[in-house]
Each structure stands twice: as C-alpha cells, then as structure tokens.
Amino acid sequence: MGGARAARGGDASSSRVGAGRRDGGGGGRGRDRGGLGFSDDAAARRPQDDFDVPADNADGPFAPPCPHGHADPSAYVPTPGVHPLREALDGLTYDAHPSHAAAPETATAPPPPTGDPSLPATFTYVDTEAALADLASHLDGVAEFAVDLEHHSYRSFRGFTCVIQVSTRERDFVVDALALRSKMRAHLARHFEDATKQKVMHGADMDVQWLQRDFGIYVVNMFDTGQAARVLELPSKGLGAFYLTDAGPRTTASAW
C-alpha cells in the first residue's frame, strides 16, 4: 500500500505491555523477565485499567454485538453462534476487479501505491479521536483497504487488540487500539460493514474475531491472501512468499 506494508495479523505475545491476569493478579516482585520489559509487579498499571468499558472475561458463549448499521438497535437481541449479518454475507457476490475483467492477454495489474519506494516508509500514527476521524474520512474515498491486527495475550484471560494497521494505496495508518478502544466502532465500523469496500487481509481468522469481540466491528467483503495461497496450493502460505509468486500480481492486493 502506501509506504508500509501491513504484516500478517498475529498475537503479539512478545509485547512490552505487562497485562494482568484475569483475576487482576501478577505474582512476583517486579522482576524484568529476561530483559524483555515484562513486569511481574502485581501493582503495575495494566492497559485494561484505562478501558472505558471493562474487558468481558465471561466464560459464557459470545453474544454478537449489534451491527453498526442495524435499523433498530434498541430492538436487537443477540443470538450466540448466529452472525447478525448472516443474510448480507450469504447474499454477497464478488465482482471481478476492474483490472482483471479483460481477457488475460489485455488485463492490467492494479495501480501501484503512491510514493517513492526508495524512500523510508512513512505512516500516520493515530492515537487521538481527531486522527481517527481523519482516517475514517480518508476511507470514505477508497474502494479497498488492507487491515492487520496485533493482539496481546501475555497474562491476560482473553487478551485484547493493541494495534491496528490500515493501508490504502495512498496512505498508511497505525492505530493505537488501546487508547482508542471505545472510539473504534463509531468511526470505523461502517467501513468494515460496507460491502462495496473490499477489505484485504492475510490469515484473518483471528483478526475477524478480535474486531468483533473488542470493538463490535464486523467485516463484510474480505479478500484473504492467506486463503488464496491455500487454494492455489502454494508451497509457502506466508504473505512475503505470496508476493513472490505469479499469484501475487493477479490479486487486488498485488501492491500491498
């Protein structure tokens, strides 16, 4: 995409954030485990201490939150195990990318990202609601964007999303999902639910679940390059290896 390429989403268990256990405990006397920044201090402040809405650590089945575009949120009743946008997902059709609609001999690759690839990658760091609103406004004018989540679960019962990377062909954003946890849905949910915008992700099985659980955001119309690699039976399913194959330039994510 713009300068920085979104890496595959993953569980950032090696994060330098010292998250507490489900019971709020953390034994020890403040030891730094191996110099990695992990603190065993039970009194250390945890990221979830600043959440506007406490993390849901219930053992029961997940109750899907009301979709952002629901006609009557007050009448919404969640049903565990049933996706609230199942009808929209079942009826979704995937049109060929305009650059691939022509005959193979005349088809062209999608446009490359803007910017000079020889220069250091730049990105917009989003840690205020105003910056998040700017990101949402930018997404108003695009038909596709790539997404990657970084998740933290060290000494945390269910874990939580720490960072979200969003890239378009013009700009890259790194979103502080801890600072903006309660603001994400209001600004970004409509874009993720918009079936006219394609979301490009890699190995997004857990990313989709984290978006739902942490922010009440649902993904509609997604292209998963990891699944594409499996369907094509490529020898390596990693994102980097995918770009080095003939399959890479033929996907909507070719330049990302």
- Give the pLDDT of residue 233: 78
Residue 224 and residue 220: Cα distance in Å, rounded? Answer: 12
pLDDT per residue as tens digits for the range 16-59: 333 333 333 333 444 554 555 555 665 677 888 888 888 777 78
Calculate ∠ Cα 228-146-112, nearest 5°: 90
pLDDT per residue as tens digits for the range 199-250: 999 988 899 999 999 999 999 999 998 888 888 777 766 666 666 555 554 4
pLDDT per residue as tens digits for the range 130-164: 999 999 999 999 999 999 999 987 777 788 999 99
Model confidence at 127, pLDDT cuts 50, 70, 90, reads: very high
Token code pair at residue 120: 């250091």
Q: Give the closest residue to 253 by CA, choosing from 85, 66, 36, 97.
A: 97
Token code pair at residue 206: 């857990």
Model confidence at 6, pLDDT cuts 50, 70, 90, reads: very low
Choose the CATH number for 10-14+86-250 among 3.40.50.300, 3.40.228.10, 3.30.420.10, 3.40.50.800. Answer: 3.30.420.10
In DSSP terms, which residues pair with 172 in a beta bridge? 167
Which residue's entry shows tokens 């730049």?
A: 122
- The residues spanned by each domain of the chain are 10-14+86-250
- Give the pLDDT of residue 48: 81
Local structure of 188: helix, strand or coil: helix
